[in-house]
């Protein structure tokens, strides 16, 4: 009854900004769990909004916030402090050359906005290419490069936006799943871009694993081929590692597997471990030319002290506790468990992803691969009832895909418990169908 009253109050006061609000009303959180006012616990397999890589209320993050809220929380945007420079230096140490210049902001959309402005200013072009399944944020330029949702009903997007298909190994466009030719698909995509471009290409923006696009992992070698296409056309490659950055995939950055370095790298969600902090990293050459041409990105919270101090703490804990290695090991355990569940349930068509960013696609049956959105919703609700929070995305032409991303601090026991709850939820949801 308390929850019902609260949700009625919410319905009478809040603007709805997406789907329906969850019926679970959070009161506090700790580690891998969220609790309501009655103490009911919910195992969080989405790290909040895919962000809390150290779990909820990590004691060292709490300590940093307490310290800096008393000491130095906010400044004039043109004024610097030690945490900002310390965090910039820490990020440069973590990142391959030549990415050695850093801009600290608040959200992922904001960092992508800044990156695309830099790309346009540096190249002199204005056309931005992304994936048709992308999500880069809700602000103007970022939303113009977002194609997975939110485009209808708002009028024209930014001029020069174009998209190509992202590779989908489970539902390939070029050839069968056994003989999928992603290189031909990529070449074809750029052939279409060349036909549409006015000759003013500025950037390609991509996630190494498209999360809101259904956990679509770019195959090994894809990023290298993509960068060659960009270099050939004089455009910059911007990689958005909002969800993949800082260890979640089992490497500090997901792009490192492919032995390439983007021209611009954006970080957000994981950098603040749940608090609003983002970053843009680029080379001294690009920064210098943009500065000479008058690059402007004054925001209210650029280079703020408190979030910078939090980001520094996140990196310290990440390195000290070897959480990148932990993500790789825990990810293997989680993926093996999901594969085992897939073997026992005909409604699970695919399990994919890397480290602790995994996807599980729900279908009517393995043979047809037909989407089953209603079943996905039932599984989500049953899992919530049983004590597991997971996020599902539904996209045209795909089954509902669960995005499974526990904190990097998740224990083996919590992984096993989550898998057990998920298995039970699927059994109950399918027995009622």
| Cβ pair 110, 104 in contact under 8 A | no
pLDDT digits (tens, 9 = 90+) for 185-202: 999 999 999 999 999 999
pLDDT digits (tens, 9 = 90+) for 349-394: 999 999 999 999 999 999 999 999 899 999 999 999 999 999 999 8
Q: What is the mean pLDDT of residues 130-149?
A: 93
Is residue 176's pLDDT more than 90?
no
Domains of the chain (ranges plus CATH)?
2-57+323-431 (3.90.1150.10), 72-320 (3.40.640.10)
The answer to whether residue 428 is catalytic is: no
The answer to whether residue 40 is catalytic is: no
What is the crossing angle of helices 182-196 and 222-233, to 10°? 20
The answer to whether residue 403 is catalytic is: yes
The answer to whether residue 120 is catalytic is: no
| Distance in angstroms (rounded) separating the CA atoms of residues 63 and 73 | 14
The tokens describing 187, both together, are 């070449």
Is residue 416's pLDDT more than 70?
yes
Instruction: Tell me the torsion sign for CA atoms 78, 79, 84, 85.
Output: positive
The answer to whether residue 207 is catalytic is: yes
- Binned at pLDDT 50, 70 and 90, residue 425 comes out as very high
Give the pLDDT of residue 178: 80
The tokens describing 370, both together, are 């037909």
Task: Determine which one of 110, 113, 185, 207 is catalytic.
Answer: 207
The answer to whether residue 240 is catalytic is: yes
Q: In what order do the strands lie in the sheet with 400-404?
A: 348-354, 357-362, 400-404, 391-393
pTM for the complete prediction? 0.96
pLDDT digits (tens, 9 = 90+) for 50-79: 999 999 999 999 999 999 999 999 999 999
């Amino acid at each position: 009854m308390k929850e019902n009253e609260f949700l009625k109050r919410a319905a009478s006061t809040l603007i709805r900004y997406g789907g329906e609000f969850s019926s679970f009303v959070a009161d506090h959180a700790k580690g891998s769990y969220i609790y309501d006012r009655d103490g009911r616990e919910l195992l969080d397999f989405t790290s909040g909004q895919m962000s809390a890589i150290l779990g909820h209320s990590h004691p060292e993050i709490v300590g940093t916030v307490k310290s800096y809220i008393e000491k130095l929380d906010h400044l004039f945007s043109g004024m610097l402090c030690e945490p900002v420079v310390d965090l910039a230096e820490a990020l440069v140490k973590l990142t391959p050359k030549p990415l050695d210049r850093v801009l600290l902001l608040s959200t992922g959309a904001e960092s992508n906005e800044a990156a695309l402005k830099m790309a346009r200013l540096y190249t002199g072009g204005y056309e931005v290419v992304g994936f048709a399944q992308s999500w880069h944020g809700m602000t103007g330029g970022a939303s113009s490069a977002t194609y997975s949702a939110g485009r209808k009903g708002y009028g024209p997007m930014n001029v020069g936006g174009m998209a190509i298909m992202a590779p989908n190994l489970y539902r390939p466009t070029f050839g069968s799943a056994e003989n999928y030719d992603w290189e031909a698909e990529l070449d074809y995509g750029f052939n279409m871009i060349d036909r549409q471009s006015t000759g003013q290409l500025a950037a390609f923006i991509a996630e190494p694993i498209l999360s809101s696009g259904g956990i679509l992992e770019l195959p090994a070698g894809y990023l290298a081929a993509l960068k060659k296409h960009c270099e050939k056309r004089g455009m910059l490659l911007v990689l958005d590692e909002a969800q993949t950055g800082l260890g979640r995939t089992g490497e500090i950055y997901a792009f490192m597997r492919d032995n390439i370095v983007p021209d611009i790298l954006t970080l957000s969600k994981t950098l603040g471990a749940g608090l609003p902090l983002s970053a843009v990293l680029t080379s001294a050459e690009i920064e210098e030319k943009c500065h000479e041409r008058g690059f402007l990105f004054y925001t209210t919270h650029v280079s703020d002290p408190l979030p910078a101090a939090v980001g520094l703490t996140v990196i310290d804990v990440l390195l000290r506790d070897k959480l990148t290695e932990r993500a790789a090991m825990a990810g293997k355990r989680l993926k093996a468990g999901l594969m085992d569940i897939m073997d026992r349930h005909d409604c699970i068509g695919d399990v994919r992803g890397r480290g602790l960013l995994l996807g599980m696609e729900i279908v009517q049956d393995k043979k047809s691969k037909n989407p089953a959105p209603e079943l996905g919703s039932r599984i989500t609700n049953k899992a919530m009832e049983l004590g597991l929070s997971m996020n599902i995305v539904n996209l045209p032409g795909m089954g509902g895909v669960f995005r499974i991303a526990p904190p990097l601090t998740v224990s083996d026991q919590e992984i096993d418990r989550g898998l057990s709850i998920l298995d039970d939820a699927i059994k109950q949801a399918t027995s009622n169908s």
